[in-house]
Amino acid sequence: MRRRNLAPNKKICGFMTKGKREGATEAELGFLKEIIRMLPAAVTVLDEAGDFLLVNDTAAAQLGMQGEQLAPDLNQRRAACLQALQDGRPVVAEEFLNDGDARQVLLTTHRPVRIADRNLLISASTDITGQKTFEDQLFRSAYYDELTGLPSRRVIEHRANALLKNDGAGRFALAFLDIDNFKHINDYYGHSVGDALLVEIAKRLSRDLRESDILSRISGDEFLLLLHPVVSDLEVAEFMQAALKRLSAPFFIDGSEVFASVSAGVSLYPDHGRSFELLRQNADIAMYRVKNEGKGAAAIFDAGMEREATARMKIEQSLRLAILEKRFCCAFQAKVDIRTQAVQGIEALVRLRDNDGVIQAPGSFVNLAVELGLIDDLTHLVLAEIVRSIDAINEMFGPEASISINVAASQAGNPEFMRSFAQALEETGFPKRFMIEVTEDAFVTKTRFQSEIVPMLRRIGVGISIDDFGIGYSSLSALADITADEIKIDRSFITDIHKRPRSQGILRAIESLSEALGMTVIAEGLETFEELAYLQAATRIRYAQGYYFSRPVFLEELRSAAPRTSESRVSIAGRLPQQTRPTYSRAQGYRR
Ligand code: C2E
Ligand code: MG
Ligand code: MG
């Protein structure tokens, strides 16, 4: 077996183990100097007189030494070295050098040595500027908000806790502020304007604060404000009112005039809580009340609000439970051809069976479901019920009838949900019968609905309908950019249309634009014969939906109302060959 030669290079070994040999040769010393010169660490050697005996290349560069010229930093280094030499002990210290605007941080080890009766100091430094910058960033991100530069939640919490511990600190107020409809602003103007708005709002809010007050951004569009000291509720209320008023003046950002408003809830220590968490929670409850009562104002917490919050909590819990237990069902409302009375399609409208078995309309829970992130599950439940009932649907409304499902605007702009929903629609085996109803906001705000989701639905043959048109944020001119199959004119335009010339004008404009763009127009909420007569006589609108034809109904209701429907459709069609589609008549309601 061959032995490996483990002996190190003899010559280098000679330098390292100086004691074993008499001394280094000239060549060896030159070699050693060369190594020291090239070291990436800065090395200097200083004698007792303060003269540098050695400054390697890295040290010269770090200390800004040109030729024999001593830079100011070198003098600073000399003073530090002389001190270390006097102390006679090794030291490790951080050094700060200024190079123009840039600041350099060095970690330096000074080691006094005695060589040939001389006291010398060997100093070696490593540049740790990068590491320091990183540490600073970490510190800042833990304690400051990067966007606005405001202190973080931790800072305000720490300060509040300090006040809570200090008996003599007295009263203080905690205000929870939330920008109204910030999501709309972000969607409409884009995120960079949204960010700039946050910065401007932070500036305006900070303007009138005292040294002892703290404003912090705690997340997205939420701020927390600590006011200390405070004397009375009135003083706090007045301050908040003035602050919110300042925010109502327009912001000029990126060439746009942006209007914003903020809702605020305030709690006071010790009146509304003796811990930071409770005070924050109660300020949040007060803020929630403002949001529900029209936004853009401030309210101070009171006990009544707490009761409300508890009641709301109960509703939330029961909604979560209802989703878990799938206690939802659908009512169906027909879209009717106003000339032939034929059912062109149906819309599924979700209903909730509450804890007491009472049926609730979506007005009481859909927004809450959106807020709680439960709406996606709910929409899948609606689709599942349609699939389960498809035979009955075909029997009642005909196998050709399109089936519309409502999708909230927030879902429509969420590609992840829409992908899963499109897949579920495709898996039904009859995706072409479906139509998705979304409000116009989904089209005009800067979400990915139009660019990504519409093409995805088109690929599988699902139709797209604009619901409640005319009451959202879009303008008529925005219609030109929208690619939808159907447009449903909001009930507010249809009600008493025969008596309202202005609505008639709007209707005509929507009608001709939609026609030019190839969209089917549906009048929503048609309730009276007069409204129908107007549509028939004065417009080319073909379809309508409304109580005049039928309220939303459950399939079971329809079955029991029309006993003949228990017979098969084929036999009915056989008896009434001229009518292949079900129709509505005003007098009898549903009729075949
Ligand atoms: P929508 O999609 O605009 O549905 C029409 C609403 O108007 C329905 O209320 C319907 O019952 C009502 N309606 C129909 N004809 C008339 C009429 O002639 N007069 C009057 N006064 N009202 C009429 P509903 O069922 O209470 O639904 C309210 C809203 O809830 C729906 O408005 C829709 O935006 C939403 N919604 C319903 N189901 C779902 C769902 O599954 N998912 C989502 N995200 N939203 C849903
Ligand atoms: Mg709808
Ligand atoms: Mg509608």
pLDDT tens for each residue of 411-465? 998 899 999 999 999 999 999 999 999 998 887 766 688 888 999 999 999 999 9
- Judged against a pLDDT cut of 90, whether residue 578 lies above it is answered with no
Q: Is 382 in the pocket of ligand 1 (CB under 6 A)?
A: yes
Q: Rounded to whole angstroms, what are the CA distances from 374 to 54, 69, 370, 412, 415?
A: 72, 72, 6, 14, 16
**Residue 375 alpha carbon, nearest atom of ligand 1:** 44
CA of 338 to the centre of ligand 1 (A): 20
Tokens read off for 462 = 């699902």
Banded pLDDT at 6 (limits 50, 70, 90): very low
Q: Is 265 in the pocket of ligand 1 (CB under 6 A)?
A: no
Whole-angstrom Cα distance, residue 295 to residue 262? 7
Whole-angstrom Cα distance, residue 476 to residue 314? 42
**Which residue, judged by its Cα, is nearest atom 22 of ligand 1?**
525
**Which residue, judged by its Cα, is nearest atom 46 of ligand 1?**
406
CA of 467 to the centre of ligand 2 (A): 5
CA of 468 to the centre of ligand 3 (A): 4
**Which residue, judged by its Cα, is nearest atom 2 of ligand 1?**
406
CA of 466 to the centre of ligand 2 (A): 8
**Residue 526 alpha carbon, nearest atom of ligand 1:** 18
**Residue 408 alpha carbon, nearest atom of ligand 1:** 44
**Residue 382 alpha carbon, nearest atom of ligand 1:** 41
Banded pLDDT at 582 (limits 50, 70, 90): low
Q: Is 546 in the pocket of ligand 1 (CB under 6 A)?
A: yes
CB 378 within 8 A of CB 328: yes
**Residue 552 alpha carbon, nearest atom of ligand 1:** 11
- Judged against a pLDDT cut of 70, whether residue 588 lies above it is answered with no
| Max CA distance (Å), the chain | 125
The ligand with the least distance to the CA atom of 407 is 1
- Judged against a pLDDT cut of 60, whether residue 193 lies above it is answered with yes
Query: Which region among 120-124, 265-269, 389-393 has the lowest average model confidence (pLDDT)?
Result: 120-124
- Report the pLDDT value the prediction gives residue 133, as an integer from 0 to 100: 85
The most confident of the ranges 67-71, 388-392, 573-577 is 388-392
Banded pLDDT at 23 (limits 50, 70, 90): low
**Residue 405 alpha carbon, nearest atom of ligand 1:** 41
CB 493 within 8 A of CB 506: yes
- Report the pLDDT value the prediction gives residue 491, as an integer from 0 to 100: 96
Per-position b or e across 527-565, b if 16+ CB within 10 A of its CB? ebeebbebbeeebebbbbbbebbbebbebeebeeebeeb
**Which residue, judged by its Cα, is nearest atom 25 of ligand 1?**
349
CB 564 within 8 A of CB 592: yes
CB 353 within 8 A of CB 327: yes
Whole-angstrom Cα distance, residue 535 to residue 548? 13
Give the mean pLDDT of the chain.
85
- Report the pLDDT value the prediction gives residue 410, as an integer from 0 to 100: 87
Rg of the Cα atoms in the chain: 38
Identify the DSSP state of 50.
Answer: S
Q: Is 350 in the pocket of ligand 1 (CB under 6 A)?
A: yes
- Judged against a pLDDT cut of 70, whether residue 101 lies above it is answered with no
Q: Is 364 in the pocket of ligand 1 (CB under 6 A)?
A: no
| Residue owning tokens 């309730």 | 527
Q: Is 518 in the pocket of ligand 1 (CB under 6 A)?
A: no
Angle between helices 375-388 and 390-397 (to 10 degrees): 70
CA of 360 to the centre of ligand 2 (A): 17
CA of 340 to the centre of ligand 3 (A): 22
- Judged against a pLDDT cut of 80, whether residue 580 lies above it is answered with no
- Report the pLDDT value the prediction gives residue 587, as an integer from 0 to 100: 35
Task: Give alpha helix (H) positions in 325-413.
Answer: 366-371, 375-388, 390-397, 409-412
Listed as own residue / partner, the contacts of 506-511 with beta carbons closer than 8 Å and 24 or more positions apart are 506/470, 507/539, 507/541, 508/539, 509/476, 510/469, 510/470, 510/476, 510/479, 511/539, 511/540, 511/541
CA of 492 to the centre of ligand 1 (A): 13
pLDDT tens for each residue of 284-320? 999 999 998 888 999 999 989 988 888 888 888 888 9
Listed as own residue / partner, the contacts of 48-56 with beta carbons closer than 8 Å and 24 or more positions apart are 48/85, 48/118, 48/119, 48/120, 50/78, 50/81, 50/82, 52/78, 53/120
**Which residue, judged by its Cα, is nearest atom 17 of ligand 1?**
525
**Which residue, judged by its Cα, is nearest atom 8 of ligand 1?**
349
Tokens read off for 568 = 């098969």
| C-alpha 379, offset from chain centre | 21
**Residue 490 alpha carbon, nearest atom of ligand 1:** 3
Banded pLDDT at 535 (limits 50, 70, 90): very high
pLDDT tens for each residue of 354-409? 888 889 999 989 988 998 899 999 999 999 999 999 999 999 999 999 999 999 98
- Domains annotated for the chain, with CATH where assigned, are 13-132 (3.30.450.20), 144-301 (3.30.70.270), 314-591 (3.20.20.450)
The ligand with the least distance to the CA atom of 545 is 1
**Residue 361 alpha carbon, nearest atom of ligand 1:** 26
**Which residue, judged by its Cα, is nearest atom 20 of ligand 1?**
525
- Report the pLDDT value the prediction gives residue 3, as an integer from 0 to 100: 39
Angle between helices 303-324 and 375-388 (to 10 degrees): 40
Whole-angstrom Cα distance, residue 302 to residue 546? 43
